[in-house]
């Protein structure tokens, strides 16, 4: 179904673990050439890259910083001779801070890792994605990672995180309006509660309480989120899909 992803050049940000790593593995299994990124390399990096095939490579960088966004995108595009698909997955809760205690440093941290990262990676990727569309005749793709928090407002102390995800879901509308003509589709995958290090602070009781609010009765697994990215990136499957938010959440949130 996603045969057209073979040979496509993909950068997945924040992909040393969790959802990003599952997405990178899924693209590699579909025959894509995959660039991974995180601040720190995952353990067993060489074996991981060998397993992904296609000359997979890791590009370290803190995407809270514009200079790192530019460098990671340029290095990935140079490595693969271009870029067809950008997955803006790097993101973090940073912390749970109630409104009364939010300060400039926390505001900057949440905004930088969730919004600046996607904005500046997309800005840096734009010329490469335009060139991809012009040279291959296939639309390029930018995929953002939202969250149910972007629609619900987020849980205790997570208001800024939820707002950052809503910001992403909104700015893609502008990009669709003004960059579809460049041959680029923009979509968002919006996960529910997924079993990753993101929830490392939850004990068994907290996990049970969250699960009780999910019709499927459990957290999602990263591997269950990844196929939505393949669908959106594939022009064969989703060539007429742009500006959309796909919710993958076990029924936890229904728009
Ligand atoms: P995770 O397991 O904590 O993984 C986050 C990844 O991003 C890691 O590879 C991490 O590596 C990297 N990263 C963090 N800060 C970064 C930075 N400044 N620059 C570059 N890379 C950075 O989290 P996850 O659950 O897979 O989350 C992935 C995405 O899904 C995030 O955007 C998150 O907001 C979103 N999401 C998650 C859930 C959930 O329930 N898990 C729900 C909705 C949305 P380093 O620490 O080495 O940099």
Q: What pLDDT, on a 0 to 100 scale, did the predictor assign at position 1? A: 66
Task: State yes or no: pLDDT of 227 exceeds 80.
Answer: yes
Q: Which of 27, 58, 161, 219 is catalytic?
A: 161
The ranges assigned to domains in the chain are: 3-247
Indicate the helix (H) or strand (E) that contains 246.
strand 245-248
CB under 8 Å to 252, separation ≥6 — which residues? Answer: 148, 192, 193, 213, 214, 215, 216
Atom 13 in ligand 1: residue holding the nearest Cα: 14
CA of 171 to the centre of ligand 1 (A): 20
Provide the sign of the torsion angle of the four alpha carbons 229, 230, 233, 234, taken in this order. negative
Is the minimum distance from the CB of 193 to ligand 1 under 6 angstroms?
yes
Is 161 annotated as catalytic? yes
Q: What pLDDT, on a 0 to 100 scale, did the predictor assign at position 113? A: 98
CA of 179 to the centre of ligand 1 (A): 27
Looking at the domain 3-247, which fold is it?
A: Rossmann fold (3.40.50)
CB under 8 Å to 209, separation ≥6 — which residues? Answer: none
Q: What pLDDT, on a 0 to 100 scale, did the predictor assign at position 201? A: 86
In tens, the pLDDT along 37-62 reads: 999 999 999 999 999 998 999 999 99
Task: State yes or no: pLDDT of 2 exceeds 90.
Answer: no
Task: State yes or no: pLDDT of 98 exceeds 70.
Answer: yes
Of 103, 14, 109, 105, the closest CA to residue 65 belongs to 109
Atom 6 in ligand 1: residue holding the nearest Cα: 14
Please classify residue 66 by burial: count the beta carbons closer than 10 Å to its beta carbon, then call 0-12 exposed, 13-18 middle and 19+ buried.
middle
Q: Please give the model's pTM, rounded to 2 decimal places.
A: 0.98
What would the mean pLDDT of 21-36 be, rounded to a whole number? 98
User: Rounded distance, CA 23 to CA 20, Å?
Assistant: 5
């Amino acid at each position: 179904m996603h045969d057209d992803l073979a040979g496509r050049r993909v950068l997945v940000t924040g992909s040393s673990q969790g959802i990003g790593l599952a997405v990178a593995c899924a693209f590699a299994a579909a025959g894509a050439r995959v660039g991974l990124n995180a601040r720190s390399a995952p353990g067993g990096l060489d074996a991981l890259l060998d397993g992904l095939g296609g000359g997979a490579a890791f590009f370290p960088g803190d995407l809270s910083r514009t200079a790192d966004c530019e460098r990671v995108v340029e290095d990935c595009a140079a490595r693969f001779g271009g870029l067809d698909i950008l997955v803006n997955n790097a993101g973090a809760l940073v912390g749970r801070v109630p409104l009364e205690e939010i300060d400039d440093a926390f505001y900057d941290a949440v905004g930088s890792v969730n919004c600046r990262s996607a904005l500046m990676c997309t800005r840096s990727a734009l010329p490469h994605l335009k060139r991809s569309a012009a040279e291959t005749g296939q639309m390029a793709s930018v995929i953002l990672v939202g969250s149910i928090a972007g629609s619900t407002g987020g849980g205790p102390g997570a208001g800024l995180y939820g707002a950052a995800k809503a910001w992403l879901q909104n700015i893609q509308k502008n990009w669709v309006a003004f960059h579809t003509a460049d041959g680029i589709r923009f979509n968002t995958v919006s996960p529910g509660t997924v079993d990753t290090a993101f929830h490392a602070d939850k004990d068994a009781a907290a996990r049970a309480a969250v699960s009780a609010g999910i019709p499927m009765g459990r957290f999602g697994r990263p591997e269950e989120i990844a196929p939505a990215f393949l669908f959106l990136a594939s022009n064969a499957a989703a060539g007429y899909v742009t500006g959309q938010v796909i919710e993958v959440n076990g029924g936890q949130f229904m728009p």
